[in-house]
Amino acid sequence: MQPGQAVAGFAAQINLAGEGSASTRLACNNAASDVVTLPASVQSSQYPFSKDGEPMRTPFSYLQYDVEDIAEHQYVAVIEKANTPTPGFVIAEFSDVSQSHRTRHISLRRLLAFGMKIRLPSSRPMVSELKVPTMQSSLLAYNLEISEQNCGEQQELFAPLVRQYLTEPYESKFFVNAREAAVSIHGVAPYVPPPLKSRSTEDGLSFQFWTDPTCASNINIKMSIDVRGSLGKLYMRYRTVFAAFPLLVVTLVLRKQFRIYDTTGVFVSFSESLDLCLRQSIPLVIAFLTFLSLFIWNSSSSTTANLWNWANVTSGAIDFHQNDLLIGTQDPFFWFLIPVIALICVGICTVFNYMTLTLVHVLSTAVSLLSFRPGWIRNEERRKALPLPAFYPTSPRRRMVTTAILLVLVSTLIPYQFAYLVCCLVQLTTTVRAQRIASDLKSAANSNFYNYAHSLLLLMLWILPINLPILAVWIRNLAVHWLTPFSSHHNVLSIMPFIILVETLTTGKMVPRVNSRFKHFTSVLLFGIALYAAIYGVSYAYMLHYLVNLVAAWLAIVHSTSDPWSVLSGIKHISCTLFDAGNTSNVGGVNGTTNPVLAEERKMRKDP
């Protein structure tokens, strides 16, 4: 009986009369095409396949028929045509479905807390099947343990063979010589659209156990949650969350900084603002998102689905966007992932903040060492030897020319992601200069500007990983001489606000306070970006760049309202106004006021 043989019927003459000479001629059907090949499972088996250099092991052959398939036949015969004895065994039996198939209804909470135990009796059939409908998620890993069989003096014909499989999406996996097995599935995955065919409530992970029926002993099966394996699967499934969800924390912290600054005139540091947010706003937002997830999971009406998915769907249509929200799963068992991910992201933001602070301080110290002057020279010579101001009062014409050159390059040659990388480097340089001045010239104005520049640097750095893949593709295209001059990543509006804002900050000018009703616009804008990053940030991460681009545009507008020499205002006045570099009342000033950083340095130069 070999697979691939003809299925057509054939005639066979079999002696059924015992010692008599009579024989019976039967019309038979070849069952070779129905053979299912199984991996050999013996005591020495380790894998369901043969590794390189190992001899090929003869697989097992398995046949299974329902009663209606063989109702027209009178006999089931196994014909051995080998000329010499061959090693192996043949086992055949009739079994009832009620004895061989089991369905275990157990909740994931109970499975997580107590595990699951199944006992196969000694009078079991050779093949037993177990289905667990609740085991569908790809976020959990399991440990399967099978007890030893006691065959007494009889040798075991074959070791236990286990097959795990899912019907939707289909997958199958074998475990040979199964005593302990690590079970993982690719079932219901987060952020994956639902299947076209509606899933039955009885669908779930199924197990098939092939055990030696000649061993009259019970078999105990234990299933438990693999904690370490589940944590690894959670990381692999949600690793992109740590690129989008921390933006929730950063924008809430920046929102708190602006609210305090507009009220008191003090722009607190990122660490202080984070401490204030952890006391109220961040826990409230996390609680809101948790209840929102439970509300979405429990909602079944089409009206609610339309509200949250921004689409019109009929009650019988498949909603392919139902897994786009929050953590991307409809299973309420995983509600705890939202506060856990939020807690991890708060820690990531804290660590990233201190890493950025360390980088800025190291670069500032390096610049100070390069500009070191001996301490034994006279005060007059020391003042002459002092380095030039950290922020140079450049003319708006020069800044507009620089901005125009960058925009032309973006529209023709380089992608805006490359220009964004340049903006991040320029902002890092500005932050280093601001930190150096704030440490040398102690004042509230210098401290405010340094905290402001540092917070904007953190905001820009969180968007940088979203743009780096496209930048890597562009570099690869340059290497193979494949240029796409009219592609979509040459959008000037996607980078213009960042360029204008960064160019404005290079002059050392602090953002003016907004005391009108527009201060609420800043708060609402940052809060809306925070909610979007948490709800849709993973599914539509590319939109985060455009949302932060709106923040940069708004801050550039705020700068331009009180600075007559900003890039935006300079576009209006460049044709009729020249920048007076000798007028100290306007150099780096805001509405005729002097730049506090430059004023402090001039005071240090004049005082002996």
Residues ≥6 apart with Cβ < 8 Å to 482: none
- Reported confidence tier of residue 549, pLDDT bands at 50, 70, 90: very high
For residue 299, CA distances in Å to 15, 133, 322, 330, 512 come to 69, 22, 11, 10, 45
Q: For residue 523, with 0-12 CB atoms within 10 Å meaning exposed, 13-18 middle and 19 or more buried, which class applies?
A: middle
What is the distance between the alpha carbons of residues 14 and 16, in angstroms, rounded to a whole number? 6
- Given a cut of 80, whether residue 386 has pLDDT beyond it is no
Predicted pLDDT of residue 532: 93
Asked if the model's pLDDT at residue 183 lies above 80, the reply is yes
pLDDT score for 257:
94
What pairing do the DSSP bridges indicate for beta strands 36-38 and 60-62? Answer: antiparallel
Across the range 258-277, mean pLDDT stands at 93
| pLDDT confidence bin for 14, thresholds 50/70/90 | low
The pLDDT confidence band at residue 455, using thresholds 50, 70 and 90, is very high
Least confident among 213-217, 221-225, 332-336:
213-217
Tell me, what DSSP letter sits at residue 48? S
Question: To 10 degrees, the CA torsion angle through 580, 584, 590, 594?
Answer: 170
Top pLDDT among 375 and 10 is at 10
Local confidence band at 275 (pLDDT 50, 70, 90 cut-offs)? very high
Give 368 or 529, the one with higher predicted confidence. 529
Share of the chain above pLDDT 90, in %: 26
* Of residues 395 and 244, more confidently modeled: 244
| pLDDT tens by residue, 484-521 | 555 566 788 888 999 999 988 988 888 998 888 888 89
Residue 585 has pLDDT above 80, yes or no: no
Residues 6+ apart with CB under 8 A from 506: 391, 394, 426, 429, 430
Beta bridge partners of 120: 219
Terminal-residue alpha carbon distance, the chain: 106
Q: What is the pLDDT of residue 404?
A: 82
For the ranges 45-49, 341-345, 548-552, the lowest mean pLDDT is seen at 45-49
- Give the pLDDT band of residue 17 (cuts 50, 70, 90): low
Is pLDDT larger for residue 557 or for residue 370? 557
Q: Do residues 132 and 204 make contact, with C-beta atoms less than 8 angstroms apart?
A: yes
Which pLDDT band holds residue 579 (cuts at 50, 70, 90)?
very low
Measure the CA–CA gap between 182 and 228, rounded to whole angstroms: 11
Q: Which of 84-98, 284-298, 340-354 is predicted least confidently?
A: 84-98
Q: Is the pLDDT of residue 573 over 50?
A: no
Distance CA 366, CA 104 (A): 66
> How much is the mean pLDDT over the chain?
79
The percent of residues above 70 in pLDDT, for the chain, comes to: 77
List the domains of the chain with CATH numbers.
Answer: 97-238 (2.60.120), 241-303+328-606 (no CATH)
Lowest mean per-residue pLDDT among 164-168, 171-175, 260-264, 400-404:
400-404
Identify the H or E element spanning 556: helix 543-562
Structure token digits, residue 446 = 């210098």
- Identify the pLDDT of residue 13: 61
| 3-class SS shares of the chain: helix, strand, coil, % to 5 | 45, 10, 40
Q: How many CB atoms lie within 10 A of CB 98?
A: 7
387 vs 293, higher pLDDT: 293
Residues 119-160 pLDDT 10s: 888 888 889 999 998 888 888 999 999 888 777 777 778 888
What average pLDDT score do residues 351-369 get?
Answer: 91
pLDDT score for 447 = 92
pLDDT at 607: 47
Spatial CA neighbour of 225 closest among 140, 129, 161: 140
CA angle, 369 as apex, 363 and 372 as ends, to 5°?
A: 145
* Higher local confidence (pLDDT), 497 or 482: 497
Question: Please, which pLDDT band fits residue 367 given cuts at 50, 70 and 90?
Answer: confident
- Which pLDDT score is estimated for 593? 37
Q: What is the pLDDT of residues 410-442, one digit of tens each?
A: 877 788 888 899 999 999 999 999 999 888 888
Distance CA 267, CA 261 (A): 5
Q: How confident is the model at residue 191 (pLDDT cuts 50, 70, 90)?
A: confident
* Band (299; pLDDT cuts 50, 70, 90): low
- Long-range Cβ contacts of 228-232 (<8 Å, 24+ apart): 229/141, 229/142, 229/182, 229/184, 230/139, 230/140, 230/141, 232/141
**pLDDT for residue 581:** 36
- The first and second tokens of residue 434, run together, are 């601001």
- pLDDT at position 24, please? 65
- In this predicted model, which residue has the larger pLDDT, 512 or 573? 512
Tens of pLDDT, residue by residue over 324-341, are 788 888 778 888 899 999
Cα angle value 153/146/202 (rounded, 5°)? 135
Identify the pLDDT of residue 256: 94
- The residue-averaged pLDDT of 384-389 equals 47
Q: Is the pLDDT of residue 87 over 90?
A: no
User: For the residues 584-596, what does the mean pLDDT come to?
Assistant: 39
